[in-house]
Structure 1
Amino acid sequence: MATDKASYRNRGGILQRLVTAYKRFRYFSHAGSNLVVKRSAEFRMVKHAVLEVGSNVTIQDQSFFQLTMPDPKVFIGDNTVIGRRNIITAKNLIRIGSDVLIGSDVQIIDHSHGTKRDTPIRLQKAQIGTVEIGDDVWIGAGARILMNVKIGNGAVIGANAVVINDIPEYAIAVGSPAKVVKFRE
């Protein structure tokens, strides 16, 4: 029988298992079975950060997790794939469901800069929110999921979409800003 070489299903050899074991110990508050974390995945986290993943999760090459002040938490469900070069940045809460496929170059961010006129941008306090992504969601390559967004179960987010508003269950949303164009049948 031929080996399945699809990158998100390939569990890797002994070196990959050692890399995953080290990163599981070093960065994860909890990790289910069959976690795969590719060697070039990078994590920058404050000491009290919470990063929990379910079983059969894959974090692809060059993905970047930044969990920073004040109280960052990231929860990822079972059977979820974080694609290549993803950026997940949390100051508060990002929750990603089970059976989620996230394409390459996706950004998920739960905060933004302030925009008051009387203070330079670089001196403004962060605006902090949450991001919730339901189960069975597909996020296309290059999409941006911004703060205070909830994506419902079964939704599809098109490539390069910028999600700034909630997306209902089973909706297919595309564009910048993302708009629902139809629903899954």
Structure 2
Amino acid sequence: MRIVGKKYIHIGNNVHILNGARIEAISKWHEQSFSPRLTIGNGTSIEQGCHIIVTDNLAIGNNCVISAYVYISDCNHQYISGKHIMETDLEIRQTSIGDNVFIGIGAKIIPGVRLGNGCVIGANSVVTHDVPEKTVVAGVPAKIIKYL
């Protein structure tokens, strides 16, 4: 397990984080400075191999299940012609996860996405847009397939 910036990470009660998770609260990238805050709500489970990156304020609600190998971030590298991607600044986009959300194995939550309470994200989905509460989405890119 790798945890970066633990002073910026706030974990609720009865949270389970399995082996191989990579959780990063980034406070500095090149010349950029950030005030990250990652909040993981009560009763949430983060399974093995998940990668969560926060540079701003990312809240994961209560009683969520984040299955294995899920990626969640609130930042992206900029793409600038002629410049190596690791030398570019980060772009920040508000990302949030409501309560009672289930994220299937291998799903990717792209920066700027808000997942409403009680939604379900299908396995291996790439979520590029907000998901309303009590909605099931799946696919690449994820699309609504059912309302609960």
TM-score by length of 1: 0.72
Task: Write out per-residue CA displacement over residues 18-54 of structure 1, whole angstroms, 9 at most, x where no aligned residue.
Answer: xxxxxxxxxxxxxxxxxxxxxxx321227xx411111
CA distance in 2, matches of 1:148, 1:79: 24
- 2:30 equivalent in structure 1: none
1:110 Cα deviation from its structure 2 partner: 0.8
Instruction: Tell me the SS of whatever aligns to 2:117.
Output: coil
How many residue pairs get matched?
Answer: 142
Q: CA RMSD in A?
A: 1.5
- Structure 2 unaligned segments of length 5 or more: list them: 28-33
Task: Write out per-residue CA displacement over residues 67-111 of structure 1, whole angstroms, 9 at most, x where no aligned residue.
Answer: 112221100111100111111111112110001011000011110
Q: Is the radius of gyration larger for structure 1 or structure 2?
A: 1
1:124 Cα deviation from its structure 2 partner: 2.1
The one-letter code sitting in structure 1 at the alignment partner of 2:20 is: Q
CA distance in 1, matches of 2:82, 2:129: 27
1:118 Cα deviation from its structure 2 partner: 6.3
TM-score by length of 2: 0.89
After superposition, residues 106-125 of structure 1 pair within 5 angstroms as 106-117=70-81, 119-125=83-89
CA distance in 1, matches of 2:68, 2:86: 29
CA distance in 2, matches of 1:169, 1:110: 20
User: Per residue, is there more strand in 1 or in 2?
Assistant: 2
Corresponding residue to 1:166 among 130, 135, 145:
130
Instruction: Tell me the SS of whatever aligns to 2:13.
Output: coil
> Are the counterparts in 2 of residues 93 and 129 from structure 1 also a CA contact under 8 Å?
no
The one-letter code sitting in structure 1 at the alignment partner of 2:3 is: F
Q: 1:122 to 1:64 in 2, by over 3 A?
A: closer
CA distance in 2, matches of 1:58, 1:119: 40
CA distance in 1, matches of 2:41, 2:146: 26
User: Per residue, is there more helix in 1 or in 2?
Assistant: 1
After superposition, residues 72-151 of structure 1 pair within 5 angstroms as 72-117=36-81, 119-151=83-115
Corresponding residue to 2:22 among 64, 81, 104:
64
1:119 Cα deviation from its structure 2 partner: 4.6
CA distance in 2, matches of 1:168, 1:116: 33
Q: 1:114 to 1:63 in 2, by over 3 A?
A: same
Does residue 181 of the first structure (1) align with residue 145 of the second (2)?
A: yes
Q: Percentage identity across aligned positions? A: 33
Instruction: Tell me the SS of whatever aligns to 1:174.
Output: strand
> More relative contact order in 1 or in 2 (CA 8 Å, sep 6+)?
2
